[in-house]
Amino acid sequence: MALIYGITFSLVKDIMPFYLQGFGFIVLRVGGAALLFLAATYTMPRQKIDWKKHGGLIVLCSLFGVAANMLMFFKGLEITTPINGAVLMLATPIFVLILNTFIFKQNLTLLQVIGIITACAGAVLLMLGRQFTFSSTTLPGDLLIIFNAISYAIYLVLVKKLLVHYHTLTVSKYTFLIGFILILPFGLPELMHANFNMPPSIIVEIVFIILFTTFITYLLNAWAINKVGPTLVGAYIYLQPILATIIAIILQKDILSLQKVVAALLIFAGVYITSLKYKWYK
């Protein structure tokens, strides 16, 4: 999942704003993923949703995990740079930890705090020297990426409550179908003015984002949250800059250095520490 997200930052900038604007792209992404989830649920026994008990929670997951999250992320990347977006998304696990602890009253562990800080330090070390700058030009996009990170953190925490009762496919199907309805007023006008005269490479990138970055990663994320919890799932975001760097080195667009090795070790250590079970308090 981290590898897919790491690739996506660059793919999005190939597509926007030359062929699709941010909100218009979201309509294709969410609509395509919703159809995939709808088709996938036919491979399993049908589950009935208790809308009176869980309907509000499903709508909130649709809002924070699909509509607000994606609208802010894509519009933010349209304004800011890929490296700014990658750096700012590193705040997601921190927001997950805060929400879990202070809002949803989940037990905090000392190792989770140490792990998040360690992994974050490694990610920052890996980013040092890269071309990222925060200016008045990128500020609106930077703020949208931050709000997107908060929105996604809320989703990671909320969806855990649904996954206790329903299959991951069922939850994903309804969150994306409702999310699609929520984003239509924002995205449909932009989609109608899109440049559909696209080369095959751009079409492949759009399909990749719908199939892998959206359908598969949301499905795997939901499964992982149900198994290990939102804090550890959020921590895996720190693997994204490592994988992006590895790809760049393989393609000979970057070189291996001691700084990168130390950063990678810190990130792996941080994610591992976050996965441990020692409780700070009960």
Phi-psi region of 229 (alpha: psi -120 to 50; beta: other; left: phi over 0): left
pLDDT tens for each residue of 216-241: 888 877 776 666 555 555 555 655 55
Q: Residues 103-132, buried b or exposed e (16+ Cβ, 10 A)? A: eeebebbebbbbbbebbbbbbebbbeeeeb
Answer whether 72's CB lies under 8 Å from 27's CB.
no
- Structure confidence by residue, pLDDT tens digits, 87-127: 666 666 777 777 766 666 666 677 777 877 887 777 677 66
pLDDT the model gives residue 222: 75
- The pTM (predicted TM-score) of the whole model is 0.74
